[in-house]
Amino acid sequence: MAGYDIVIVGGAIVGSAVAYYLRAEGFSGSIALVEKDPQFTYSATTLSLASIRQQFSIPENIRLSTFTLGLFRRLKQEFGDDADITFRETGYLILAGEAGLPILMANHAVQIAEGGNIVVEDAQALKQRFPWISDEGIVAGALGLSGEGSFDAHALLTLFRKALKTKNVDFITADVTGIERQGNRVSAVLLGSGESLEAGTVVDAAGPAAGKVAALAGLALPVEPRKRNVFVFEAREKIDDLPLTVDPSGVYVRREGSVYITGGAEAEATDGPADPGDFEPDWPLFEEAIWPVLATRIPAFEAIKATRAWAGHYDYNTLDQNGVIGPHPEVSNFLFANGFSGHGLQQAPAVGRAIAELITHGGYRTIDCSAFGYERIAAGRPFRELNVI
Ligand SMILES: Cc1cc2nc3c(=O)[nH]c(=O)nc-3n(C[C@H](O)[C@H](O)[C@H](O)COP(=O)(O)OP(=O)(O)OC[C@H]3O[C@@H](n4cnc5c(N)ncnc54)[C@H](O)[C@@H]3O)c2cc1C
């Protein structure tokens, strides 16, 4: 049986970032990165909207994204002169009606205290800034002036994976089908091939499948796949200064080159666990739920047609839509890096760093992630993020 000090289950952005920062922190033990889908065809990372923001409701989430923003700013120093993830700093514009205004203002105060470059403008000022917007039902909007926008998720993942090739990390293509425990320790990871890997520590980086992987070790984690549909459309009129705009209904839209991408129409009332194999877009959502909102909010989008669509799965934490980071309190050599519920891509570098600090130094050094610990899950005590897009 092969043996590793660290076995990371899931090799997409979170798993790769954990391995990368373990080496950056000076961890010299052996590391296996186990991934069943090495092309990442179905990973949340590559099916995401690939955007980063500071507009969260709790400081800890802002700090995680700000760490990643710092990495984007010094990408070439970190990964070499060729490194490019086409980061476009076009901002987020989060719109609020009367009912949403107090939350928008409270969030803004938190963001400013964390150093976010975000302004809140009333409907009139927004119309002046963005003449293409309709202020029907809108009283204000929060706009990120810098540090927010979109990037190429696949390129970011490739940078991490390429860097790992020279860092003595074993890439193993396999499906993890079992995890052995001896009392309060995990001891081995079983692979679909029938082989097993002895493990000093197991890190769960399985994204939407994280709950399933935790269950293999007999641990309960309220993270499940939730299907999210993204539609691509074209419009005759080009809106060059379109930020990632989020309507109070939850529908969002952003520019992607010469086309636009939109989503956010899944109804809360019917939202539930997805079939892990279902990646078929729910086309009626575009006509029935998205188009009416877009046509109202941005009249230039009245005559649009969806040309393409895809569906991915959120790594959805049903307790509080927030990350679960760190060890299981009793099975302390099983570590969670899960449940980011739509904001895990932008947080992955920071989370990778946090997990690496825990393993290497026995505690957090860069960002204190204790608030994301499993203890709140065990106690059923939500640590809720309000800005889930
Ligand atoms: C439509 C959509 C839009 C999104 N938009 C954004 C956004 O704009 N910004 C943002 O920050 N986040 C966004 N997210 C969320 C983000 O994509 C995820 O939070 C993040 O990618 C999670 O990374 P991960 O590495 O944990 O999971 P994944 O990328 O899903 O990777 C998990 C990996 O684990 C592997 N795996 C699972 N089970 C096993 C097993 N048993 N054995 C071996 N391997 C296994 C899988 O094959 C997979 O490659 C979005 C998600 C979706 C679906």
pLDDT in tens, 208-265: 999 999 999 999 999 999 999 999 999 998 999 999 999 999 999 999 999 999 999 9
Question: Quick check: CB of 34 below 6 Å from ligand 1?
Answer: yes
Percent of the chain's residues with pLDDT above 90: 97
3-state DSSP helix/strand/coil % of the chain, to nearest 5: 30, 30, 40
Reported confidence tier of residue 90, pLDDT bands at 50, 70, 90: very high
**Position in ligand 1 atom list of the atom nearest CA 206:** 34
Task: State the distance from the centre of ligand 1 to the C-alpha of 285, rounded, in angstroms.
Answer: 22
Question: Quick check: CB of 51 below 6 Å from ligand 1?
Answer: yes
Reported confidence tier of residue 72, pLDDT bands at 50, 70, 90: very high
What is the Cα–Cα distance from 127 to 95, expressed in whole angstroms?
Answer: 12
Alpha helices in the chain (DSSP H): 13-24, 44-47, 59-73, 75-79, 101-113, 123-129, 153-164, 210-216, 284-285, 291-297, 344-361, 375-379
What is the best residue among 9, 20, 33, 43 to mutate for testing ligand 1's pocket, by most ligand atoms within 8 Å of CB? 43
**Per-residue pLDDT at 386:** 87
Question: Quick check: CB of 107 below 6 Å from ligand 1?
Answer: no
Helix (H) or strand (E) holding 242: none
**Per-residue pLDDT at 110:** 97
Question: Quick check: CB of 343 below 6 Å from ligand 1?
Answer: yes
pLDDT reading at 388 higher than 90: no
**Per-residue pLDDT at 155:** 98
Polymer length in residues for the chain = 389
Give 13-25 pLDDT, tens digit per residue.
Answer: 999 999 999 999 9
What is the Cα–Cα distance from 229 to 47, expressed in whole angstroms?
Answer: 10
Count CA atoms closer than 13 A to 249's CA, side-chain side: 19
Residue 192 DSSP class: T
pLDDT reading at 1 higher than 80: no
Give 150-161 pLDDT, tens digit per residue.
Answer: 999 999 999 999
What is the Cα–Cα distance from 60 to 64, expressed in whole angstroms?
Answer: 6
Question: Quick check: CB of 14 below 6 Å from ligand 1?
Answer: yes
Q: Which residues pair with 325 in a beta bridge?
A: 337
Q: How many CB atoms lie within 10 A of CB 11?
A: 30
pLDDT reading at 207 higher than 80: yes
In this prediction the pTM is 0.98
Task: State the distance from the centre of ligand 1 to the C-alpha of 12, rounded, in angstroms.
Answer: 7
Tell me the average pLDDT across 22-50. 98
Residue nearest to atom 12 of ligand 1 (CA): 343
Mean residue pLDDT across the chain = 97
Tell me the average pLDDT across 114-141. 97
Question: Quick check: CB of 224 below 6 Å from ligand 1?
Answer: no
**Position in ligand 1 atom list of the atom nearest CA 315:** 19
Radius of gyration of the chain (CA): 21
What is the Cα–Cα distance from 334 to 337, expressed in whole angstroms?
Answer: 10
Tell me whether strands 170-173 and 259-263 are parallel, antiparallel or unpaired.
unpaired
Q: Write the Ramachandran bin of 271: left for phi over 0, alpha for psi from -120 to 50, otherwise beta.
A: beta
What is the best residue among 8, 45, 282 to mutate for testing ligand 1's pocket, by most ligand atoms within 8 Å of CB? 45
Please check whether residue 362 is in contact with residue 201, taking contact to mean a CB–CB distance below 8 angstroms: no
Reported confidence tier of residue 145, pLDDT bands at 50, 70, 90: very high
